[in-house]
Amino acid sequence: DAGVIQSPRHEVTEMGQEVTLRCKPISGHDYLFWYRQTMMRGLELLIYFNNNVPIDDSGMPEDRFSAKMPNASFSTLKIQPSEPRDSAVYFCASSSHQGGPDTQYFGPGTRLTVL
Amino acid sequence: AQSVTQLDSQVPVFEEAPVELRCNYSSSVSVYLFWYVQYPNQGLQLLLKYLSGSTLVESINGFEAEFNKSQTSFHLRKPSVHISDTAEYFCAVSGPGTYKYIFGTGTRLKVLA
């Protein structure tokens, strides 16, 4: 089975540009999570979806960040405009919670560098 | 609110020596506890988890962790480490009614030859 797929793996952009990160969760999973990892702040949950509906976006840093999940097999995290402090590794994870809590499966991450 | 504390940011240990990575949590309700491992330039992978039942849980590669409710701890142990265990280890807590994980800040395990 394919795991969680993220693209691109690396993104280098200039301040002010729009950045779109993409995620394909594991087929059949009904939860999708977006995390950000930095040296200073560790691993932070940005937002998560259940059945394509955003449930908790309290971790989204500010209005420059937005996330969508138009269908069960695709999600995007967009930053517009990007700033150097957005440089981080962004992870997508998915899980299935039918019948109770279950493991979150992480993608390989997208390393974003904003110059 | 739930929280997780990993007191050790880095743990160096010689190959074949035992290791313990500490994790303490804070929660007013029952908890689910997880250990994840992150190898360089990779995503996180589940190592082991405690949901209920036996307080001692084991992974397939020799790690184990024990849920201690009175001490609010979930320390990760391995009796003999290998070079290949060099990675960053994250403890996480969740609980009934929520699917959010709260992650600790991670412990970087470096196994020395």
- pLDDT tens digit string along B60-100? 889 999 999 999 999 999 999 999 999 999 999 988 777 78
Whether residue B111 contacts residue B60, with contact meaning beta carbons closer than 8 Å, is answered with: no
State which residue of chain A sits closest to B6, comparing Cα positions.
A42
- Report pLDDT for A1: 64
Of the candidates A45, A108, A109, the beta carbon closest to that of B100 is on: A45
Q: A43–B90: do the CB atoms touch at under 8 Å?
A: yes
Which chain B residues are Cβ-neighbours of A108 within 8 angstroms? Answer: 41-43
- Report pLDDT for A100: 57
**CA dist list (Å): B90 to A69, A76, B17, B79, B102:** 27, 25, 21, 19, 10
Query: pLDDT for A38-55, tens place per residue?
Result: 988 889 999 999 999 999
Q: A43–B32: do the CB atoms touch at under 8 Å?
A: no
